[in-house]
Amino acid sequence: MAHQYAQIAFTPSVRQVQNEQNSRSGYASMDNGEDYNFMLSQEESNFIQQRDSFYMASVSETDWPYVQHRGGPKGFLKIIDAQTLGFSDYSGNRQYISTGNFRTNDKVSLILMDYANRRRLKILGHISQVAADDWNTQVALEDDHYRARVERAFVIKITAFDWNCPQHITSRYSEDQLASLISPLQEEIKSLKEKLNQQSTTVSVDSDTNTLSDSKAEAKNEVRGEVKYEVKGESKDKHKDENISDDKFSLKITGIRQLTKDIRAYQLSNSTGEPLPAITAGAHLQVPVTINDSLSTHLKNKQGNQKTVWRSYSILNAQSDHNSPNAYYEIAVKRIDEGKGGSIALHQQYQLGLSLQCKPPQNFFALNESEKEAHTVLIAAGIGITPIIPMALTLLEKAQPFELHFAARSKSEMIYVDELSELLGNRLHLYPSNTGKKLSIDSLLSTQISRPTNSQMPPTQYYFCGPNEMLNDFVKGAKAAAIADEQIHYEQFAASPNSSAQAVQLTLTKSNKTIAVASDQSLLDALLDEGVEVPHSCKSGRCKSCVVQVSSDAEIAHLDSCLSETERASGKMCLCVSRPQSSGLYIEL
């Protein structure tokens, strides 16, 4: 049975255009299989109950469509059952165009918008006005606490619905939503003022001007779209640190969306208003975050108990055309309460209008452009979907064969899952483990290598991003399946040491220093904390910046994705993610 929405909306002329634009294959799966998009699930019900307005289209006797806005209190569009909606029609203008149109044509189309999270739900159905003497239905659709006169009520029988992708939806926020975003910042300001008052009686705080002053320095903190401070008459950006290189560029936060309870998306635009440099799928952006010593015991600078550190996040909206500039970059950040404090600080500090001095994008996880005809298998787990999404969209736009396997604890934790489902169709395979459907890396790889292939086709390419445990399974499974190294591509985020990691003593042979590395520290972090200058960038084993020479007979657990087997055998290792399998290691530094 075909998807009911596709049956109605995908007319022959629409399908012809889809074929011309090479998008037809993405919707082919909607023509087969079980149709369920006429019965509201809990997801649609929750979405509808949070809306306080919608757009409604009707058709007149002249065949002209008419679109009208309907508003009321949150949840005024009520769910009667899984196939029926109803709402009270409040007194407004006196044209009655929609009401009149419905008397001759009961077809109706609704669009429900969630601007803050850039989501929209489209509903098709048949509408009827509630009879004047049907008091039970009319009363059930009223809102007792909303002061507006009800003129009539309508009931809609749902024929089909579909979710739409977020492209070109500008984030907009209600007063309540803005308050929830600004409230943490206000609380932080309040807390800082209280701490300053406690630290010294010589410090005075003017609550009207947000001015801090004492006998040695005057500081002024202003919020006017950008967050800056001034010390001794010298202006510096809040996120500027003395170790930031000159290749930084200025971005401003122009949008924030809450994707899940602990994942937040940030839209970053050029502070000048100009388009941003073009980037390709797999690219990441390094952004600055100020971390307090209370959040990370390993971070301290000369000026006190906080330090600006760099965090790398994949850019979600890469362009398939290398020459097309980006209007903005979008990143998604998961708050990890048991982490090193970076994600917590970022969620607290990053607010609308904040200016950031970022490092230009880099790409150490790019699609293999030389294998354009190869079948591609994309595998992601949790927040690891972020570099994989632009890869899938690039392959889709170029009409190249691929499939995406996406695993998470539950569907509610799968970011952008609705948009991916709509765009990718049967190319997308979901594994929400709470339903008992878990992704087996070994089974997936076995299925792939047993798949019939054309000898003239290039070998399948595999891309993975996810937790270290799954990454290890992926690498081991690929080797066991005799998949060549050049077919395997993977990325991990800045890695925390394995829970079984042990403390290590580093001996620096050139500088004659000995440094102790805690079991919960990376080798790179330990060196940086001791003031040893080590080149570094991604901190996730991708860029080779922190590669050092160790003894060739040292046993190293290599977790990077950039060194070849030959380089590893010669004694090369990445300090950011790899670790010796003994308690001591000699490094040429």
Please report whether residue 7 resides in a domain: no
pLDDT of amino acid 105: 97
- Within a domain: 429: yes
Residues 48 and 159 in one domain: yes
Q: Are 376 and 463 in contact (CB under 8 A)?
A: yes
In a domain, 18, yes or no: no
Domain residue limits at 203: 175-362
Side-chain half-sphere exposure of 56, counting CA atoms within 13 A: 24
537 phi/psi in degrees, rounded to 5: -145, -75
* Mean pLDDT within 419-429: 92
* Neighbouring residues of 122: CB distance < 8 A, sequence distance ≥ 6: 5, 109, 110, 111, 161, 162, 163, 164
Q: What is the pLDDT of residues 84-108, one digit of tens each?
A: 999 999 988 789 999 999 999 999 9
* Partner residues linked to 78 by β-bridges: 86
Largest CA distance in the chain: 93
Q: 141 and 130 in contact (C-beta within 8 Å)?
A: yes
Name residues whose C-beta falls within 8 Å of residue 446's C-beta, 6 or more positions apart in sequence: 481
- Per the prediction, the chain carries an average pLDDT of 82
Q: Are residues 274 and 202 in the same domain?
A: yes
Same domain, 382 and 518: no
Task: State how far the Cα of 196 lies from the Cα of 206, in Å rounded to an integer.
Answer: 12
Q: What residues contact 447, with CB distance under 8 A and at least 6 apart?
A: none
437 and 300 part of one domain? no
Domain of 270: which CATH number? Answer: 2.40.30.10
At residue 19, the 3 state secondary structure works out as helix
Task: Identify any residues that bridge with 228 across adjacent strands, giving them in sequence order.
Answer: 222, 237
Neighbours of 22 (CB within 10 A): 12
Note whether residue 460 is domain-resident: yes
Tokens encoding 498: 């394995």
The reply to whether 329 and 285 lie within a common domain is yes
Q: Determine phi and psi for 411, rounding to 5 degrees.
A: -65, -30
Phi-psi region of 525 (alpha: psi -120 to 50; beta: other; left: phi over 0): alpha
Enumerate the β-bridge partners of residue 308: 290
Neighbours of 585 (CB within 10 A): 21
CA distances from 81 to 41, 72, 157, 373 (A): 10, 20, 10, 48
Token pair recorded at residue 118: 């850039």
The residue ranking higher by pLDDT, 384 or 217, is 384
For 135-154, what is the mean pLDDT?
Answer: 92
Q: Indicate the pLDDT class of residue 326, thresholds 50, 70 and 90.
A: confident
Residue 303 scores a pLDDT above 60: no
> Has residue 129 got a pLDDT over 70?
yes
Residue 237 lies in a domain: yes
Tell me, yes or no, whether 284 and 327 share the same domain: yes
Give the highest mean pLDDT range of 30-34, 340-344, 398-402, 537-541: 398-402
**Please, which pLDDT band fits residue 551 given cuts at 50, 70 and 90?**
confident
The answer to whether the CB of 565 falls within 8 A of the CB of 582 is no
Q: Please state at what angle helix 441-449 crosses helix 468-480, rounded to 10 degrees.
A: 30
Q: Do residues 189 and 223 touch, judged by C-beta distance below 8 A?
A: no
Compute the half-sphere exposure of residue 456: CA atoms within 13 Å on the CB side of its CA: 0
Selection from 225-229, 290-294, 479-483, 562-566 with the highest mean pLDDT: 479-483
Q: Are residues 208 and 119 in the same domain?
A: no
> Has residue 298 got a pLDDT over 60?
no
The residue out of 323, 340, 362 marking a domain boundary is 362
How far apart are alpha carbons 89 and 69 in whole angstroms? 11
Q: Report the 10 Å Cβ neighbour count for 293.
A: 15
N- to C-terminal Cα separation, the chain: 67
Q: Is 371 among the domain residues?
A: no
pLDDT band at 308 (very low <50, low <70, confident <90, very high): confident
Query: Does residue 181 share a domain with residue 329?
Result: yes
- For residue 519, the model assigns a pLDDT of 87
Q: What is the pLDDT of residues 195-216, one digit of tens each?
A: 777 764 443 333 343 333 333 3
Cα–chain center distance at 359: 19
CATH number of the domain to which 425 belongs: 3.40.50.80
Can you give the CATH number for the domain in which 553 is found? 3.10.20.30
Q: Of 108, 139, 164, which residue is a domain's last? A: 164
CA atoms of 510 and 363, how far apart (whole Å): 32
Residues 420 and 537 in one domain: no
Of 362, 395, 419, the last residue of a domain is 362
How many Cβ atoms are within 10 Å of 85's Cβ, its own excluded?
A: 23
Confidence band for 34, pLDDT divided at 50, 70 and 90: low
Q: Are 386 and 314 in contact (CB under 8 A)?
A: yes
Paired tokens of 497: 């040491």
pLDDT band for position 318 (cuts 50, 70, 90): confident
Look at the chain and report how many structural domains it folds into. Answer: 4
Q: What CA dihedral angle connects 451, 452, 458 and 464, to 10 degrees?
A: -10
Does one domain contain both 228 and 345? yes
Regarding whether 324 and 468 lie in a shared domain, the answer is: no
Tell me the C-alpha distance between 515 and 234, whole Å: 37
- The 10 Å Cβ neighbour count of residue 492 is 22
C-alpha–C-alpha distance, residues 549 and 547, integer Å: 7
Banded model confidence at residue 505, pLDDT cuts 50, 70, 90: very high
Which ranges in 76-115 belong to alpha helices (H)? 97-104
At 191, which helix (H) or strand (E)? helix 175-199
Q: Which tokens belong to 403? A: 């499939």
Q: Tell me: do 339 and 405 sit in the same domain.
A: no
Q: What is the pLDDT of residue 444?
A: 93
Would residue 26 count as lying in a domain? no
In a domain, 542, yes or no: yes
Alpha carbons 178 and 182: distance in angstroms, whole number: 6
